[in-house]
Amino acid sequence: MTSETWRVGVLFSTSGITAAVERTQRNATLLAIEQINANGGIDGRLIEPIAYNPGSDPKQYRDQAELLCDQHKVSVIFGCYMSSSRKAALPIIEARGALLFYPTLYEGFEYSPHCIYTGPAPNQNSVQLVNYVSQKFGNRIAMIGSNYVYPYESNRVIADLFTQTGGRVLHEQYVPLTATADVFARIIEQVAKLQPDAIYSTVVGDGIALFYQAYRAAGLDPATMPIISLSTSEAEVAQMAPGTAVGHITASPYFEGLRTPQSEAFVAAYRARFGADARITACAEAAYFQVYLYALGVARAQTDRFALLLPHLHDLEFDAPQGRVKIDGATNHTHVWSRVGQVNAQGLFDVVDEPGVRVAPDPYMLKYSLDAETPLAVRLNFQPMGS
């Protein structure tokens, strides 16, 4: 063991609007680092995390990325949840020749050689969500989102997909990240009058609990008009009064209750480290497995310098809690699994749709269509394992 370390930056918020989910990402990152270090680190060198709290503020992500690169001399950063923070930090990371590992679902239509995207792109969650919801509930949709880039762009994709199934958008509205309970109550009242088949929510952070609580207070029924989402996770459901979100739908590569040996080991280790009540999310799962991919890549490259490390990350596979994942060499995105979940009385998700296949990333949605003539396997870009 040498005293030299692999120094990495960790940029997840423990305060501010998205702290609930980002705390799970930070915890999972530190857990993976601790596990790898307990097994001797990477080739006898420990990983040394330098963690900051950017307070859910994009400007702080940028400033702290700069600090990590310029003062702490890291060449790899694990971090970011909101796309606004990724877009704020990435130009700094690119200019310094560093690499960001980004473990969050996002809107797609982006590629940076300096970013490894380990959350799902729209073809890996939105297509599956629309496919499920249009068959089960219908395709007349209202869309409510927070006022920043991910909701605008995700709504564009979701609207396209529902339109391809013959549906339409009845309402589209954006609220500030700091919107209060009365704002959500008024929106719910307005939307309920339109009687959509589902309400697509791209609300993020603390507003999620307020939005679902407003829905519940209005006496609406998820069996006929669920809130459907990609960004509502176990962490935000835990912020609500018990039972508030029961019956609502999220599409995601991973849910906390998944019964695979890798998932059960991850959940047990996370609980042992962070408490029996700690909630685990898909964003945490991606934050966890991406550290292992980084470690495998550094072990192969024998360096963490960007230009030498990147080729060793491409096509790298790992048995993650969600299933075996792989970094795509063409796009820097990740092959991930596709699932649709429904919130149960425990505040966890029951998987209600699971094709059981890994989906190749297609961040620019080049191959997609939900029209009836396209076979399902083609629509979802399923690829056999090992391809």
Q: Which residues bind ligand ACM (CB under 6 A)?
A: 82-83, 104-106, 150, 204, 231
In the complex, least distance from residue 15 CB atom to ligand ACM, rounded to whole angstroms: 18
CB of 14 to ligand ACM, least distance (A): 17
Residue 144 or 316: the one with the smaller Cβ distance to ligand ACM is: 144
Asked if residues 380 and 284 have their Cβ atoms less than 8 Å apart, the reply is no
- Of 139 and 252, nearer to ligand ACM (C-beta) is 252
> Cβ of residue 382: shortest distance to ligand ACM, in angstroms?
24
Q: How far apart are CA 179 and CA 173, in angstroms?
A: 12
Minimum Å gap between C-beta 86 and ligand ACM is 7
φ, ψ of residue 323 to 5 degrees: the values are 135, 180
| 286 or 296: CB nearest ligand ACM | 286
Smallest distance, Å, CB 104 to ligand ACM?
A: 5
Distance CA 259, CA 239 (A): 24
| CA R_g for the chain | 20
Taking the complex as a whole, the smallest distance from the CB of residue 8 to ligand ACM amounts, in Å, to: 21
Look up residue 164 and give its two tokens: 């391809």
Nearer to ligand ACM by C-beta: 177 or 245?
A: 177
Neighbouring residues of 66: CB distance < 8 A, sequence distance ≥ 6: 92, 96
Contacts of 300 (CB under 8 A, 6+ apart): 312, 316
* Pick 150 or 349: Cβ nearer ligand ACM: 150
Contact 134, 251 (CB under 8 A): no
Question: In the complex with ligand ACM, which residue's Cβ is closer, 36 or 282?
Answer: 282
Question: At closest approach, how far in Å is the CB of 279 from ligand ACM?
Answer: 17
CA separation for the pair 256, 259 (Å, rounded): 9
How many whole angstroms separate alpha carbon 267 and alpha carbon 381? Answer: 29
Question: Smaller CB distance to ligand ACM: residue 106 or 212?
Answer: 106
Give the residue with the Cβ less far from ligand ACM, 82 or 296. Answer: 82
Q: Give residue number: closest CB to ligand ACM.
A: 150
We find the least distance from the C-beta atom of residue 387 to ligand ACM, in angstroms, to be 27
Instruction: Mention every residue, 6+ apart, whose C-beta is less than 8 A from residue 182.
Output: none
C-alpha 64/C-alpha 78 separation (Å) is 12
CB closer to ligand ACM, 250 vs 262: 250
DSSP 44-113: TB-EEEEEE--TT-HHHHHHHHHHHHHTS--SEEEE--SHHHHHHHHHHHHHTT-EEEE-S--------T
User: How near is the Cβ of 112 to ligand ACM at its closest, in Å?
Assistant: 15
Separation of alpha carbons 257 and 244, rounded Å:
19
Residue 241 DSSP label: P
